[in-house]
Structure formats: structure tokens, C-alpha cells
């Protein structure tokens, strides 16, 4: 059995901004090593894990894509020992003042994002939100030491320690999308004791938050017959109550829209119903905002499903998730994959 909380805490302690996934990739490598038959790293930095199926050769392949990269910041300028920053991935500048961060210079330097007082800012700012270009990072070191240890282009990651809230809820930075890597790990673990005909390629993809680079290249290399993309989705909570959000802690999101093959959606919905795994249709009328946007159009096209783990406060350092939903997503994927017959692709058809 995987200790989910321990795995999450370990993954959340590692940095891994888009394009700089090294530290998190090592931790996932370690977690997947006993659960897969081979592991490799793609040219763009995604981790590929193969769990060989028991069906006859040639076997069909299912790819699970969970992006491992994190949003964060990057140093653009250093002045008087303080660092100006820009964003990596999408960050609302209004959540930045006062955030604890780590600057990945010649060594990891703890610091915080700071908001200068009004009279050091343009008058137009007033008491309104402060654009990212006016914020600084302070690492508490004197200017000469900062100049030695930090360079323009160094990454800055969020550093607030994860907190366990009531009711098996976890709050922290980068739960988008380490929770999906964790769910994928639970799925691989569950498949250890199951026969499955298909080969399973678990991919911890790189650069989802910036370029979708991982999701465009890994499927080209692995040529799966179908792909399950797992990512976080919006949970209902303060500031998000409309149709784009599904309830918090009450089941997995099943993506529905142009990025998703409708027959795969239906197969997942039926599977969830038969297993009594709580689930909600997660409407994605245009783009899904996930790896599926890229995977679907790789080579001659790949049928995709998108699973969502509901998350509050997305892209803040206090993203909040229910562990129950992570387990549900892991179980749903494992059951779906274990039940894939060699000819399952025949069912993934357009109604005519």
C-alpha cells in the first residue's frame, strides 16, 4: 500500500517549475521504479514508465498523462540584494505579496515576495493591486552575497509548507498537479495485483503550464492507442460557484467537451457508475486546459479522456484538495485499465 500523505508531502517538498522538472522527476522515478517494468526520460524531460500488459503481442497501449511541472517565478533583475521577478505559468499577481518562496540560485535560498510601500511605487498604484514588476523577493542576505549566489534566470518556487485540514483535505502549493501524479502512482500500485491486457505507459509530463511540450512529444514517441489525461479541475468554493466548478471532495470530474472522445467519456462514466465511484460531469465547452489539448492532435490523432481531481484556489500556494478524490481517481483509472479487452478499441467509435 502506498502512504498517500507521505508521498504527497515528499513530492511537494521538491521543486520542478516548467522546464526545470529535475528534482520532482527524481522523486517520481523513485516512486514508480518498483511499480513499472522500465523507466526512461524523454528529450524534453518527461518521465515515461512502462508497465507491460499480459495480452498477446502486439498489445494495445494506453497512456496516462499527469503533468509534473509547477508554476512559479523567475528572477529578472537584481538590485540592492533584492530580486525582481516574472511568472512561470499563470499567476494572479494579487496573491503574491507576503508569499514564502525558495530562490534556486547557486544554493536553495529561502525568502519571501514583498510589496514595497506606496511611496516607492508609481502614484497610479494607490492602494490597488501591485503588478508583478513592482514586487521584489528578499532572501535576507546582504547585497554582495546575493550577487554571488543568484543570477537572472534562476527559478523561484513557492515554499509554504503543506497543511492538513479537517476531513482529509490537504492545502499547499503545486497540488496542481502533483495530486494527479499521486493518483497515477496509486493506479500503478493497484495494477500490481491485476491482470491487464494492455501495456500501460505512465507519463509524468513536462512543461504543461507553459508550452504543453511534454504532452506534444511523449505520445509521438510512445504512440498510444488511447490516452487518459489526469489533471486538477475547479472545485466549488469561495470565488468559484458557477458551472465550471464541481463539488469539493465529492468525486472525480469526468471531462466532457471537444478534447474528449465521447465514447471514452461514456466508458468512464459507466465504469464509475458500476463501481459506485462518485463522479461529476466536468463541462469543457472549448479547450480543456490540460495535456489533452496537445495529446489529441499528436500524429494521426489520439482518443483522449480527461479526469479531474477537484481543487480549490488553483494557482495559489494554498491549493486545497481532498485525499478521497485522489484515491477515487487512482482506483477509477486502475479499474478501467484492468478491464480493457484486447479489442476494446472497437468500442471507441463515433456513432453513425
C-alpha cell at 198: 494492455
Give the whole-angstrom CA distance, residue 70 versus residue 157. 8
Question: In angstroms, what CA-CA distances link 192 with 22, 33, 51, 130, 330?
Answer: 27, 12, 9, 51, 13
What sign does the dihedral 174-175-181-185 (CA atoms) show? Answer: positive
Alpha carbon 188 to its chain's center: 17
- Residue 178's Cβ-count burial label (10 Å; 0-12, 13-18, 19+) is buried
With CB under 8 A as the contact rule, which of the stretches 41-49, 166-174, 279-287, 330-338 interacts with another protein? 166-174
With CB under 8 A as the contact rule, which of the stretches 42-50, 96-104, 302-310, 331-339 interacts with another protein? 96-104
CB neighbours of 36 closer than 8 A, spacing ≥ 6?
A: 49, 50, 51, 188, 202
What DSSP string describes 41-64?
A: E-TTS-EEEEE--SSPSSPPEEEE
CB 242 within 8 A of CB 252: no
> What is the nearest approach in angstroms of another protein to the Cβ of residue 227?
22
Is residue 145 a contact residue for another protein (CB under 8 A)? yes
Interface residue with another protein among 23, 55, 237, 342 (CB under 8 A) is 237
> What is the nearest approach in angstroms of another protein to the Cβ of residue 257?
15
**Binding letters toward another protein, positions 170-199, x by CB under 8 A:** -x----------------------------
- Closer residue to another protein, CB minimum distance, 78 or 264: 78
Is residue 140 a contact residue for another protein (CB under 8 A)? yes
Interface residue with another protein among 2, 41, 121, 277 (CB under 8 A) is 121
Interface residue with another protein among 3, 80, 144, 276 (CB under 8 A) is 80
Is residue 322 a contact residue for another protein (CB under 8 A)? yes
With CB under 8 A as the contact rule, which of the stretches 30-38, 158-166, 185-193, 330-338 interacts with another protein? 158-166
**Binding letters toward another protein, positions 290-319, x by CB under 8 A:** ----------------------xxxxxxx-
Total residues belonging to the chain: 352
- Closer residue to another protein, CB minimum distance, 15 or 99: 99
- Closer residue to another protein, CB minimum distance, 44 or 85: 85
Give the whole-angstrom CA distance, residue 53 versus residue 200. 7
Give the whole-angstrom CA distance, residue 151 versus residue 109. 12
**Binding letters toward another protein, positions 250-289, x by CB under 8 A:** ---------------------------------------x
- Closer residue to another protein, CB minimum distance, 28 or 159: 159
Nearest to 230 by CA among 328, 152, 324, 155: 328
What does the longest C-alpha to C-alpha distance in the chain come to?
A: 72
Is residue 122 a contact residue for another protein (CB under 8 A)? yes
Is residue 93 a contact residue for another protein (CB under 8 A)? yes
Query: What SS3 class is residue 228?
Result: strand
Is residue 320 a contact residue for another protein (CB under 8 A)? yes
> What is the nearest approach in angstroms of another protein to the Cβ of residue 252?
16
Cβ neighbours of 279 (radius 10 Å): 24
Give the whole-angstrom CA distance, residue 188 versus residue 183. 9
> What is the nearest approach in angstroms of another protein to the Cβ of residue 197?
38
Is residue 92 a contact residue for another protein (CB under 8 A)? yes
Cβ neighbours of 37 (radius 10 Å): 10
Footprint of another protein (CB under 8 A): 79-80, 82, 90-100, 109-112, 114-117, 119-122, 127-130, 134, 136, 138-142, 145, 160-161, 163-169, 171, 234, 237-240, 244, 248-249, 289, 312-318, 320, 322
Amino acid at each position: 500500500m502506498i502512504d498517500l500523505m507521505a508521498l504527497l508531502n515528499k513530492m511537494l517538498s521538491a521543486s520542478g517549475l516548467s522546464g526545470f522538472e529535475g528534482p520532482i522527476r527524481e522523486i517520481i522515478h523513485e516512486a514508480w521504479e518498483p511499480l513499472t517494468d522500465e523507466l526512461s526520460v524523454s528529450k524534453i524531460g518527461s518521465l515515461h514508465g512502462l508497465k507491460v500488459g499480459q495480452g498477446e503481442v502486439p498489445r494495445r497501449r494506453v497512456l496516462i498523462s499527469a503533468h509534473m511541472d509547477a508554476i512559479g517565478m523567475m528572477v529578472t533583475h537584481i538590485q540592492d540584494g533584492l530580486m525582481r521577478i516574472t511568472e512561470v505559468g499563470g499567476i494572479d499577481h494579487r496573491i503574491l505579496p507576503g508569499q514564502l518562496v525558495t530562490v534556486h540560485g547557486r544554493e536553495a535560498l529561502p525568502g519571501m515576495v514583498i510589496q514595497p510601500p506606496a511611496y516607492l511605487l508609481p502614484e497610479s498604484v494607490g492602494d490597488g493591486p501591485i503588478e508583478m514588476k513592482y514586487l521584489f523577493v528578499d532572501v535576507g542576505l546582504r547585497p554582495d552575497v546575493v550577487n554571488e549566489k543568484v543570477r537572472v534566470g534562476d527559478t523561484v518556487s513557492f515554499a509554504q509548507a503543506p497543511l492538513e485540514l479537517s476531513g482529509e483535505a490537504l492545502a499547499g502549493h503545486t497540488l496542481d498537479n502533483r495530486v494527479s501524479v499521486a493518483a497515477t502512482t496509486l493506479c500503478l500500485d493497484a495494477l500490481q495485483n491485476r491482470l491487464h491486457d494492455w501495456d500501460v505507459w505512465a507519463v509524468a509530463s513536462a512543461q504543461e503550464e507553459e508550452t504543453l511540450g511534454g504532452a506534444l512529444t511523449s505520445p509521438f514517441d510512445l504512440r498510444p492507442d488511447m490516452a487518459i489525461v489526469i489533471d486538477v479541475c475547479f472545485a466549488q468554493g469561495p470565488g468559484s460557484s458557477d458551472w465550471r466548478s464541481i463539488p469539493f471532495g465529492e468525486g472525480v470530474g469526468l471531462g466532457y467537451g471537444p478534447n474528449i472522445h465521447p465514447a471514452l467519456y461514456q466508458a468512464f462514466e459507466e465504469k464509475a457508475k458500476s463501481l459506485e465511484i462518485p463522479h461529476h460531469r466536468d463541462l469543457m465547452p472549448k479547450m480543456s486546459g490540460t495535456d489533452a489539448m496537445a495529446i489529441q492532435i499528436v500524429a494521426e490523432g489520439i482518443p483522449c479522456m480527461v479526469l479531474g481531481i477537484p481543487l480549490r484556489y488553483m494557482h495559489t500556494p494554498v491549493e486545497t484538495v481532498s485525499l478521497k478524490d485522489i484515491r477515487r481517481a487512482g482506483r477509477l483509472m486502475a479499474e478501467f485499465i484492468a478491464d480493457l479487452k484486447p479489442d476494446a478499441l472497437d468500442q471507441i467509435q463515433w456513432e453513425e
